[in-house]
């Protein structure tokens, strides 16, 4: 079959896989190239990992992997992050089982880089399970300071605990709490907070096409309400001068810019800060949607489409609590 025919087949399959509601929604989003988005959805996500410098030197771990046929390329925006190809199944490797590496998407590493954890800080990961970003925070703390890793689900906390233990994290407390209630006992306590919020996952459809089939605006609206409560709670847990990073792996404005805008309207001390991550292609946050004008500073947030880096789609906002 000629290449042009292959393209037509792929596009036809995509039209079948996306519901009319989702296709119409994506078409309404500003600055979305639907053909490119569908192409990104059809591509497998790149395999990537972080080297665990808490357990061994980065050089030695990379040498082990290269000696077994893995081709490795560093990720510009993520310390200790690499894209890998060749070799065997990384998930079955000894390095993975021993916690010498943590398998994680390349763009998924960006929110913690935006948070920029530093040794000695007290940091809350509000929606932590299964632990990819908690282990990343702990690694950058280098054993100094405290990480509080929280989740609402007992089953997910078990996975979180297992991953933190495998990674060799010692300076961490795990809590099992509804994140919306955290300010009741930790108001103004943390230097930094990460909210990697539950979302509709439109940035990672290539992992699971069921996401596209199950999507509805009703689900988005319910998630948006939860996300607003989580970001408000997270902000209230910050010390004056503290930093909050809010992220999702979805594309909807309701779960991204409108959530951050809602925080700005409900907390006078909240200010959006610019994010600088080397080599990560992105576009500014949307400041006008459905006839509603959002705060101008929303443009400082990061909207990352799957085809920007041919990897996961994400949204990242960095917010500073004034007064420090």
The tens digit of pLDDT for each residue in 51-67 reads: 999 999 999 999 999 99
Give the pLDDT of residue 324: 66
CATH fold, domain 106-321, is: Rossmann fold (3.40.50)
127 is a catalytic site residue? no
Q: What is the pLDDT of residues 148-183, one digit of tens each?
A: 999 999 999 999 999 999 999 999 999 999 999 999
Rounded to whole angstroms, how far apart are CA atoms 49 and 27? 33
Give the pLDDT of residue 3: 45
Q: What is the pLDDT of residues 12-22, one digit of tens each?
A: 444 447 888 99
User: Both ends of the chain: CA-CA distance in Å?
Assistant: 64
Distances (CA, A) of 311 to 89, 193, 280, 304: 19, 25, 11, 9
> For the purposes of burial, counting CB atoms within 10 Å of the CB of 83, is it exposed (0-12), middle (13-18) or buried (19 or more)?
middle
Catalytic annotation, pick one of 127, 199, 237, 249: 249
Token pair in block for residue 183: 């300010």
- Collect the ranges in the chain with pLDDT lower than 70: 1-16, 324
Quote the distance between the C-alpha of residue 303 and its chain's center.
12
Task: Name residue, tokens 């292959």.
Answer: 6
Give the pLDDT of residue 209: 87
Spell out the domain ranges in the chain: 106-321
Q: DSSP letter string over 274-287? A: ----TT---EEPP-
């Amino acid at each position: 079959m000629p290449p042009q025919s292959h393209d037509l087949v792929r596009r036809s399959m995509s039209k079948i896989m996306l519901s009319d509601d989702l296709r119409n929604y994506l078409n309404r989003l500003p600055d979305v190239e639907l053909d490119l988005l569908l192409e990104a959805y059809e591509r497998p996500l790149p395999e990537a990992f972080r080297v665990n410098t808490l357990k061994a030197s980065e050089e030695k771990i990379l040498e082990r992997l290269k000696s077994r046929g893995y081709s490795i390329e560093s990720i510009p925006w993520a310390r200790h992050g690499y894209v890998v190809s060749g070799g065997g199944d990384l998930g079955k490797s000894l390095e993975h089982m021993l916690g010498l590496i943590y398998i994680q998407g390349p763009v998924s590493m960006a929110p913690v880089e935006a948070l920029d954890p530093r040794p000695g800080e007290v940091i809350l990961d509000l929606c932590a399970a299964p632990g990819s970003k908690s282990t990343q925070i702990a690694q950058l703390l280098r054993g100094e300071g405290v990480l509080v890793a929280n989740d609402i689900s007992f089953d997910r906390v078990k996975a979180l605990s297992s991953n933190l233990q495998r990674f060799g994290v010692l300076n961490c407390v795990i809590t099992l709490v509804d994140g919306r209630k955290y300010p009741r006992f930790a108001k103004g306590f943390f230097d930094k907070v990460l909210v990697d919020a539950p979302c509709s996952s439109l940035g990672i459809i290539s992992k699971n096409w069921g996401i596209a089939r199950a999507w509805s605006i009703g689900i988005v609206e319910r998630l948006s309400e939860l996300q607003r409560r989580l970001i408000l709670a997270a902000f209230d847990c910050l010390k004056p001068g503290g930093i909050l990073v809010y992220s999702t792996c979805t594309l909807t404005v309701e779960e991204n810019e409108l959530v951050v805008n809602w925080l700005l309207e409900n907390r006078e001390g909240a200010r959006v800060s610019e994010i600088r991550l080397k080599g990560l292609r992105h576009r500014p946050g949307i400041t006008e949607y459905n006839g509603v004008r959002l705060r101008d500073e929303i443009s400082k947030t990061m909207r990352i489409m799957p085809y920007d880096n041919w990897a996961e789609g994400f949204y990242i906002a960095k917010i500073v609590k004034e007064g420090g």
